[in-house]
Amino acid sequence: MTTAQTPLSNSPAVAEADYPGNLYVVSAPSGTGKSSLVNALLEVDSHLQVSVSHTTRAPRGQEQHGREYWFTSKEDFQAMIDRGEFFEHAHVHGNHYGTSRKAIEDRIQSGEDIVLEIDWQGALQIKRIFPNAILIFIMPPSYEELLQRLNRRGEDTPEVIETRMANARIEVAQAQYFDFVVINALFESALFDLKSIVHAQRLKYSAQRRNKSSVFRALNLS
Protein backbone atom coordinates (compact mmCIF):
# COMPACT_ATOMS: atom_id res chain seq x y z
CA MET A 1 0.00 0.00 0.00
CA THR A 2 1.44 3.37 -0.99
CA THR A 3 0.23 6.88 -0.42
CA ALA A 4 -1.18 8.81 -3.35
CA GLN A 5 -1.11 12.57 -3.69
CA THR A 6 -4.09 14.43 -5.10
CA PRO A 7 -3.04 17.80 -6.55
CA LEU A 8 -5.43 20.72 -6.32
CA SER A 9 -4.88 22.15 -9.77
CA ASN A 10 -8.03 24.28 -9.56
CA SER A 11 -7.04 25.89 -6.25
CA PRO A 12 -5.14 29.15 -6.79
CA ALA A 13 -2.37 30.09 -4.41
CA VAL A 14 -3.28 32.64 -1.78
CA ALA A 15 -1.03 35.69 -1.95
CA GLU A 16 1.14 36.15 1.13
CA ALA A 17 -0.67 38.50 3.46
CA ASP A 18 -0.62 39.64 7.06
CA TYR A 19 -3.37 37.39 8.36
CA PRO A 20 -4.33 38.01 11.99
CA GLY A 21 -4.11 34.28 12.74
CA ASN A 22 -1.50 31.60 12.13
CA LEU A 23 -1.92 28.18 10.55
CA TYR A 24 0.38 25.49 12.00
CA VAL A 25 0.44 22.28 9.97
CA VAL A 26 1.86 19.25 11.79
CA SER A 27 2.82 16.02 10.00
CA ALA A 28 4.59 12.83 11.04
CA PRO A 29 4.80 9.11 10.32
CA SER A 30 2.18 7.01 12.08
CA GLY A 31 3.31 6.13 15.61
CA THR A 32 5.62 9.11 16.07
CA GLY A 33 3.45 10.70 18.75
CA LYS A 34 2.06 13.57 16.68
CA SER A 35 -1.46 13.48 18.10
CA SER A 36 -0.24 13.21 21.70
CA LEU A 37 2.08 16.18 21.20
CA VAL A 38 -0.59 18.32 19.56
CA ASN A 39 -3.10 17.48 22.30
CA ALA A 40 -0.55 18.42 24.97
CA LEU A 41 0.19 21.67 23.12
CA LEU A 42 -3.51 22.54 23.01
CA GLU A 43 -3.76 21.96 26.76
CA VAL A 44 -1.01 24.47 27.58
CA ASP A 45 -1.85 27.09 24.93
CA SER A 46 -5.38 28.42 25.18
CA HIS A 47 -4.93 30.58 22.07
CA LEU A 48 -4.53 27.55 19.81
CA GLN A 49 -7.51 25.80 18.26
CA VAL A 50 -7.51 22.49 16.42
CA SER A 51 -8.81 22.15 12.88
CA VAL A 52 -10.86 19.00 12.40
CA SER A 53 -10.30 17.19 9.10
CA HIS A 54 -12.64 14.86 7.21
CA THR A 55 -11.77 11.20 6.73
CA THR A 56 -13.33 8.04 5.33
CA ARG A 57 -11.59 5.75 7.84
CA ALA A 58 -13.39 4.26 10.82
CA PRO A 59 -12.97 5.81 14.30
CA ARG A 60 -10.24 4.33 16.53
CA GLY A 61 -10.54 3.77 20.25
CA GLN A 62 -12.22 6.75 21.94
CA GLU A 63 -12.25 8.99 18.86
CA GLN A 64 -15.44 10.99 18.41
CA HIS A 65 -17.13 12.42 15.33
CA GLY A 66 -16.37 16.14 15.17
CA ARG A 67 -13.55 16.00 17.73
CA GLU A 68 -10.64 14.08 16.17
CA TYR A 69 -12.18 13.90 12.69
CA TRP A 70 -15.38 14.34 10.76
CA PHE A 71 -15.96 10.71 9.82
CA THR A 72 -17.72 10.42 6.47
CA SER A 73 -18.49 7.92 3.73
CA LYS A 74 -16.46 7.63 0.55
CA GLU A 75 -19.47 8.82 -1.43
CA ASP A 76 -19.92 11.97 0.66
CA PHE A 77 -16.18 12.63 0.58
CA GLN A 78 -16.11 12.41 -3.22
CA ALA A 79 -19.07 14.79 -3.41
CA MET A 80 -17.10 17.34 -1.34
CA ILE A 81 -14.15 16.97 -3.73
CA ASP A 82 -16.46 17.55 -6.69
CA ARG A 83 -17.78 20.73 -5.06
CA GLY A 84 -14.22 22.00 -4.46
CA GLU A 85 -14.68 22.20 -0.71
CA PHE A 86 -11.25 20.91 0.33
CA PHE A 87 -8.10 22.93 0.97
CA GLU A 88 -6.25 19.66 0.39
CA HIS A 89 -7.13 16.00 0.19
CA ALA A 90 -5.09 12.82 -0.03
CA HIS A 91 -5.32 9.04 -0.06
CA VAL A 92 -3.30 7.59 2.84
CA HIS A 93 -3.13 4.01 4.16
CA GLY A 94 -6.21 3.10 2.12
CA ASN A 95 -8.37 5.98 3.39
CA HIS A 96 -9.20 9.51 2.25
CA TYR A 97 -8.42 12.63 4.29
CA GLY A 98 -9.32 16.26 3.55
CA THR A 99 -9.34 19.75 5.05
CA SER A 100 -12.19 22.20 4.57
CA ARG A 101 -10.85 25.31 2.85
CA LYS A 102 -13.52 27.74 4.00
CA ALA A 103 -13.25 26.65 7.64
CA ILE A 104 -9.51 27.33 7.70
CA GLU A 105 -9.63 30.67 5.86
CA ASP A 106 -12.50 32.04 7.96
CA ARG A 107 -10.79 31.19 11.23
CA ILE A 108 -7.36 32.66 10.48
CA GLN A 109 -9.00 35.75 9.00
CA SER A 110 -10.80 36.22 12.32
CA GLY A 111 -7.48 36.06 14.20
CA GLU A 112 -7.51 32.47 15.46
CA ASP A 113 -4.32 30.41 15.62
CA ILE A 114 -5.12 27.02 14.10
CA VAL A 115 -3.20 23.76 14.33
CA LEU A 116 -3.86 21.13 11.71
CA GLU A 117 -2.71 17.50 11.84
CA ILE A 118 -2.40 16.03 8.36
CA ASP A 119 -0.07 13.85 6.31
CA TRP A 120 2.93 15.29 4.44
CA GLN A 121 1.10 15.30 1.11
CA GLY A 122 -1.62 17.58 2.43
CA ALA A 123 0.90 19.77 4.24
CA LEU A 124 2.82 20.49 1.04
CA GLN A 125 -0.41 21.13 -0.84
CA ILE A 126 -1.43 23.71 1.76
CA LYS A 127 1.99 25.40 1.62
CA ARG A 128 1.62 25.86 -2.14
CA ILE A 129 -1.87 27.29 -1.78
CA PHE A 130 -1.22 29.22 1.45
CA PRO A 131 2.46 30.25 1.71
CA ASN A 132 1.98 31.71 5.22
CA ALA A 133 1.32 28.27 6.70
CA ILE A 134 3.97 27.06 9.17
CA LEU A 135 4.89 23.43 8.44
CA ILE A 136 6.19 21.30 11.33
CA PHE A 137 7.43 17.73 10.87
CA ILE A 138 7.64 15.36 13.87
CA MET A 139 10.40 12.76 13.52
CA PRO A 140 11.01 9.56 15.48
CA PRO A 141 14.52 9.20 16.96
CA SER A 142 15.03 6.03 14.90
CA TYR A 143 13.13 3.51 12.80
CA GLU A 144 13.71 0.90 15.50
CA GLU A 145 11.99 3.09 18.09
CA LEU A 146 9.14 3.80 15.69
CA LEU A 147 8.56 0.08 15.19
CA GLN A 148 8.48 -0.47 18.94
CA ARG A 149 5.93 2.30 19.37
CA LEU A 150 3.67 0.88 16.67
CA ASN A 151 3.83 -2.56 18.30
CA ARG A 152 3.13 -1.11 21.77
CA ARG A 153 0.13 0.78 20.44
CA GLY A 154 -1.53 -2.56 19.71
CA GLU A 155 -3.98 -1.18 17.13
CA ASP A 156 -2.65 -2.73 13.91
CA THR A 157 -1.96 -6.15 12.45
CA PRO A 158 1.64 -7.09 11.57
CA GLU A 159 0.81 -6.49 7.91
CA VAL A 160 -0.45 -2.97 8.60
CA ILE A 161 2.60 -2.21 10.74
CA GLU A 162 4.84 -3.37 7.91
CA THR A 163 3.03 -0.98 5.56
CA ARG A 164 3.32 1.88 8.04
CA MET A 165 7.06 1.29 8.41
CA ALA A 166 7.55 1.26 4.65
CA ASN A 167 5.57 4.49 4.34
CA ALA A 168 7.53 6.04 7.23
CA ARG A 169 10.73 5.99 5.18
CA ILE A 170 8.96 7.87 2.40
CA GLU A 171 7.43 10.31 4.86
CA VAL A 172 10.66 11.09 6.74
CA ALA A 173 12.32 11.95 3.43
CA GLN A 174 9.82 14.81 3.02
CA ALA A 175 10.94 16.60 6.21
CA GLN A 176 13.38 18.68 4.16
CA TYR A 177 10.43 20.59 2.70
CA PHE A 178 9.06 21.63 6.11
CA ASP A 179 9.82 24.85 7.99
CA PHE A 180 10.61 23.12 11.30
CA VAL A 181 11.58 19.63 12.45
CA VAL A 182 10.92 18.31 15.97
CA ILE A 183 12.47 14.99 17.03
CA ASN A 184 10.25 13.16 19.49
CA ALA A 185 12.86 11.19 21.43
CA LEU A 186 11.71 12.58 24.80
CA PHE A 187 8.10 13.77 24.93
CA GLU A 188 8.71 16.75 27.23
CA SER A 189 11.56 18.05 25.06
CA ALA A 190 9.51 17.66 21.88
CA LEU A 191 6.60 19.52 23.47
CA PHE A 192 8.94 22.34 24.51
CA ASP A 193 10.18 22.60 20.92
CA LEU A 194 6.60 22.81 19.62
CA LYS A 195 5.74 25.55 22.11
CA SER A 196 8.86 27.46 21.09
CA ILE A 197 7.87 27.41 17.42
CA VAL A 198 4.39 28.73 18.18
CA HIS A 199 5.71 31.43 20.50
CA ALA A 200 8.33 32.57 17.98
CA GLN A 201 5.65 33.14 15.34
CA ARG A 202 3.82 35.45 17.72
CA LEU A 203 6.97 37.54 18.23
CA LYS A 204 7.37 38.38 14.55
CA TYR A 205 7.32 42.09 13.72
CA SER A 206 3.95 42.02 11.97
CA ALA A 207 2.31 40.11 14.82
CA GLN A 208 3.75 42.39 17.52
CA ARG A 209 2.73 45.50 15.58
CA ARG A 210 -0.82 44.19 15.39
CA ASN A 211 -1.11 42.87 18.96
CA LYS A 212 0.89 45.63 20.70
CA SER A 213 -0.29 48.52 18.55
CA SER A 214 -0.21 51.05 21.41
CA VAL A 215 3.50 50.42 21.98
CA PHE A 216 4.25 50.81 18.27
CA ARG A 217 2.26 54.06 18.12
CA ALA A 218 4.16 55.39 21.15
CA LEU A 219 7.40 54.63 19.33
CA ASN A 220 6.15 56.24 16.10
CA LEU A 221 6.22 52.86 14.32
CA SER A 222 2.57 52.59 13.38
Asked if 210 and 111 count as a contact pair (C-beta separation under 8 A), the reply is no
Helix (H, G, I), strand (E, B) or coil at 23: strand
8 occurs within a structural domain: no
198 occurs within a structural domain: yes
Total domain count, the chain: 1
pLDDT tens-digit series, residues 64-122: 887 888 899 999 999 999 998 888 888 887 899 988 888 788 889 888 999 999 889 88
Helix (H, G, I), strand (E, B) or coil at 74: helix
pLDDT tens-digit series, residues 15-52: 455 678 999 999 999 999 999 999 999 999 999 998 88
pTM: 0.79
Range of the domain at 142: 17-51+113-218
Eight-state DSSP code of residue 33: S
- Judged against a pLDDT cut of 50, whether residue 3 lies above it is answered with no
69 occurs within a structural domain: no
Taking the C-alpha atoms of residue 184 and residue 138, their distance in angstroms, rounded to an integer, is 7
Single-letter code of the amino acid located at 178: F
Q: What CATH code is carried by the domain that includes residue 212?
A: 3.40.50.300
Backbone phi and psi for residue 130, each to the nearest 5 degrees, phi listed first:
-130, 85
What pLDDT score does 20 carry? 83
What pLDDT score does 4 carry? 42
pLDDT tens-digit series, residues 153-205: 888 899 999 999 999 999 999 999 999 999 999 999 999 999 999 999 999 99
What pLDDT score does 92 carry? 81
70 occurs within a structural domain: no
26 occurs within a structural domain: yes
